[in-house]
Amino acid sequence: MVSNDKEKDLQQPQILSIEDDFGIIRQFIEGDKSAFQILVKRHKEKVRNIIYITMNNSALVDDIAQEVFITVYRNLKHFRFESQFTTWLYRITVNRCKDYLRKINVRKIFSPLEEGSEITEFATPVENNDVSKIVTDAISKLPVKLRMPLILKDIEGFSYQEISETLNCEMGTIKSRIFRGREKLKEILQPLERELMQ
């Protein structure tokens, strides 16, 4: 069992480190199932938030997050300690979100977007001038390949290196997608500039 003090320490997001995750995973592999619950506690909010912003639908968050952690639970014993646990965790999260988005909009997601061919949907003025909601809605209008890096960078604060590992893409591609995501977001938000400034 993990002692109470240890559990308390590990719940502080500020001091999350690879070593802590590795230690907990080792305990889990050695048979301490309660270690998994600690792992979930440490990472669930970040996972839930990535899902929330990606899907722009709070009703789906916990279902998807549960699937993510169940996948982790089933595969954790094979974890090889070669890369950060979080890289693997967020990759599963991103993939699950993509699965759901694909289910929601089979056609759009499956036809690969040609370079420069993304259709920009402009935001429409809303009565409710909740800036955060307007921005979240606008992010959800971005093509998935621009949306994911932007969310990981601007909302979750990942470094380009971390995003590149999570999304399994070259750094140059990530750099370009973040830039294009921001540009596209600006276009989408353009008609709402007045609301946003209020």
Partner 1 sequence: MSKKNQIIELLSAYLDGELSQSEKDEVERLLATSLELRKKLEDLKKIMQLTHNVKRIPESPYFETRLMALIEGQKTNTGKIKRWLPASALVLVTIAVMVALKINPDLINHFWEDQKTTLAGFYKENLQPVLFAANLTNEDIFNFAFNNELPLDNSRKQYLLLGYDDSGKEFFEIRTADEKLKRESYSEFISVMNLNEAQKEIVDSIIGSYGKALETQVLVNNKNTIAINPNLWNYRKAIFADLLIAAEKLNIEKFNRIVPAGITNEEKIRVVNAVERLKTSPEDQYIFITPDSVFTDTYEFNSELYEQELKKLEKELKRNEEKLEQFTLSIRFDSSLKHLTLDDQLNHPFIITVDPNICRVDIPELQISEIRIPDIDSISPLIEEATNNIQFYAYKVPKVERSDSGIKFKYFDGDSVHSYELNYSELNIDSIVESKHQFDLYRLDELKSGKPFNDSILSKYQFDKDYYFRYYTDEELQKQMEELQIELQQFGEEMKNWNIEVHEEVTKSLKK
Rank residues 81 and 179 by Cβ distance to partner 1 and give the closer one.
179
3-state SS string for the chain: CCCHHHHHHHCCHHHCCHHHHHHHHHHHHCCCCHHHHHHHHHHHHHHHHHHHHHHCCHHHHHHHHHHHHHHHHHHHHHCCCCCCHHHHHHHHHHHHHHHHHHHHCHHHHHCCCCCCCCCCCCCCCCCCCCHHHHHHHHHHCCCHHHHHHHHHHHHCCCCHHHHHHHHCCCHHHHHHHHHHHHHHHHHHHHHHHHHHHC
Rank residues 19 and 193 by Cβ distance to partner 1 and give the closer one.
193
Q: How far is CA 89 from CA 1, 75, 83, 150, 180, in A?
A: 23, 11, 11, 18, 26
Rank residues 19 and 111 by Cβ distance to partner 1 and give the closer one.
111
Binders of partner 1 among 97-126, rule CB under 8 A?
99, 102-107, 110
Binders of partner 1 among 129-148, rule CB under 8 A?
131-133, 135-136, 139
Binders of partner 1 among 39-98, rule CB under 8 A?
40-41, 44-45, 48-49, 52-53, 57-62, 65-66, 69-71, 73, 75, 92, 95
The minimum distance between CB 50 and partner 1, in angstroms, equals 10
Count of residues that bind partner 1 according to CB under 8 A: 54
Rank residues 17 and 37 by Cβ distance to partner 1 and give the closer one.
37
Rank residues 15 and 74 by Cβ distance to partner 1 and give the closer one.
74
Q: Which residues bind partner 1 (CB under 8 A)?
A: 36-37, 40-41, 44-45, 48-49, 52-53, 57-62, 65-66, 69-71, 73, 75, 92, 95, 99, 102-107, 110, 131-133, 135-136, 139, 150, 153-155, 159-160, 175-176, 178-179, 182, 185-186, 189, 196
